[in-house]
Amino acid sequence: MSNLMNDKVVVIMGVANDRSIAWGVAKALHKQGAKLIFTYRKERSLDKLNKLLEQHQIEALQKVSCDVLDDASIIAAFDEIQKTTGMIHGLVHSVAFAEKDELQGEYVDTTRDGYLLAQNSSSYSLVATAREAKKLMTEGGSIVTQTYIGAERVVKNYNVMGVAKAALEASVMYLAEDLGKYGIRVNAISAGPIRTLAAKGVSGFNDIMSTIEERAPLRRNIDQDEVGDATMFLLSSLSRGITGEVLHVDAGYHILG
Ligand code: NDP
Ligand code: N5H
């Protein structure tokens, strides 16, 4: 198996560095022959991305700036993709943001601004990008986002992000229904904890990793490459009958009571 994504064009949003889930996805897609377009927000992320692409001898089709908080930026990014590349087959949405202060203490103390920022960055961003991507998926396509079990149950400190991910997972269902008639599938991966830049310094992260190691059926944590492979599967034709699904890549932790 090495050509599952031959000549498929996939837009990947959310590479910040080599630890990013989106970078795990990029490697898995490249291995299967996909052509990759990257979007980034910070210049620092672009610098990291350029170094990674060079190190791994991957040639990107395009690198495009895109701030998902800004409709004009999203529209401009997909316009640029349309002009330079044209048709796309896949979209990887791997972005989320909440203020650090909102990721500790009690959910009941969530501020209006903190709530709106988390929803805007982490949930509405899928709707806005799916709408633009749809226009370029003229032969059908597949959209995959990244979620976490804190959408389904209360996980200490996840707070406002749990509510944003619940909205994200509901969006996956509604988008799957809307876009299915165009041959576009929409799914999510629910990954176990992975030490990435976004996870850095958040309260309780180490404890959660230890709990997974002790209790998850596989008795270990998972990594970016495992999420990358599962995301690649959802982008490939191997998953052609699957849409509106949340696939757990979490060493089986979600089955525990
Ligand atoms: P990273 O820090 O590597 O990636 C987060 C990305 O979000 C960065 O590339 C950042 O770009 C981007 N981002 C944030 N706000 C914006 C914005 N307004 N516009 C454009 N990009 C933005 O962390 P992860 O790889 O861990 O996170 C990727 C996804 O995986 C997130 O949805 C996260 O919730 C999810 N996830 C992570 C888990 C984990 O344990 N790490 C577990 C389950 C799900 P920039 O820095 O350029 O702003
Ligand atoms: C239960 C947990 C631990 C507590 C909650 C963590 C939630 C993390 C998600 C968000 C995305 C983190 C975040 O936005 C951090 C920012 O406030 C500060 N960081 C940054 O700005 C960096 C530089 C950039 C790259 O980050 C972003 N987001 O742009 C959950 C964990 C066990 C699992 C986990 C970490 C889940 C998840 O959704 O990421």
Q: What is the pLDDT of residues 199-247, one digit of tens each?
A: 998 889 999 999 999 999 999 999 999 999 999 999 999 999 999 999 9
Distance, in Å, from the CA atom of 77 to the CA atom of 128, rounded to the nearest integer, reads: 12
The set of long-range contacts for 64-68, using a CB threshold of 8 Å and a minimum separation of 24, is: 64/37, 64/38, 64/39, 64/40, 65/39, 65/40, 65/41, 66/13, 66/39, 66/40, 66/41, 67/41, 68/13, 68/41, 68/95, 68/121, 68/125, 68/128, 68/129
Structure token pair of residue 230: 């599962």
Q: What is the pLDDT of residue 84?
A: 98
Ligand 1 atom closest to the CA of 66, numbered from 1: 20
Residue with tokens 């930026």: 73
Write the DSSP symbol of residue 62.
E
Q: Whose CA is nearest to atom 41 of ligand 1?
A: 194
Beta bridge partners of 191: 249
Instruction: Look at the domain 9-247 and name its fold.
Output: Rossmann fold (3.40.50)
Helix (H, G, I), strand (E, B) or coil at 29: helix
Distance, in Å, from the CA atom of 71 to the CA atom of 108, rounded to the nearest integer, reads: 30
Residue 191 CA, chain-centre distance (Å), reads 10
Residue with tokens 């909205």: 167
Closest to 127 in 3D by CA, of 99, 95, 156:
95
Residues lining ligand 2, CB < 6 A?
16, 96-100, 103, 148, 150, 155, 157-158, 161, 193, 197-199, 202-205, 208
pLDDT tens per residue across all 257 residues of the chain = 679 999 999 999 999 999 999 999 999 999 999 999 999 999 999 999 999 999 999 999 999 999 999 999 999 999 999 999 999 999 999 999 999 999 999 999 999 999 999 999 999 999 999 999 999 999 999 999 999 999 999 999 999 999 999 999 999 999 999 999 999 999 999 999 999 999 998 889 999 999 999 999 999 999 999 999 999 999 999 999 999 999 999 999 999 99
158 is catalytic: yes
Q: Where are the domains of the chain?
A: 9-247
Q: What is the pLDDT of residue 134?
A: 98
CA of 109 to the centre of ligand 2 (A): 18
Q: Is the CB of 77 under 6 A from ligand 1?
A: no
Whether ipTM tops 0.95, in short, is yes
Q: What is the pLDDT of residue 83?
A: 98
Q: Is the CB of 164 under 6 A from ligand 1?
A: no
Closest to 92 in 3D by CA, of 43, 28, 49:
28
- pTM to 2 decimals? 0.99
148 is catalytic: yes
Mean of the per-residue pLDDT values for the chain? 98
Phi, psi for 253 (deg, rounded to 5): -55, -35
Q: Whose CA is nearest to atom 3 of ligand 1?
A: 20
CA of 223 to the centre of ligand 1 (A): 15
Q: What is the pLDDT of residue 118?
A: 99
Q: What is the pLDDT of residue 1?
A: 60
Q: Which residues of 43-57 are buried (b: 16+ CB within 10 A; e: fewer)?
A: eebbebbeebbeeee
Q: ∠ CA 80-70-48 to the nearest 5 degrees?
A: 65
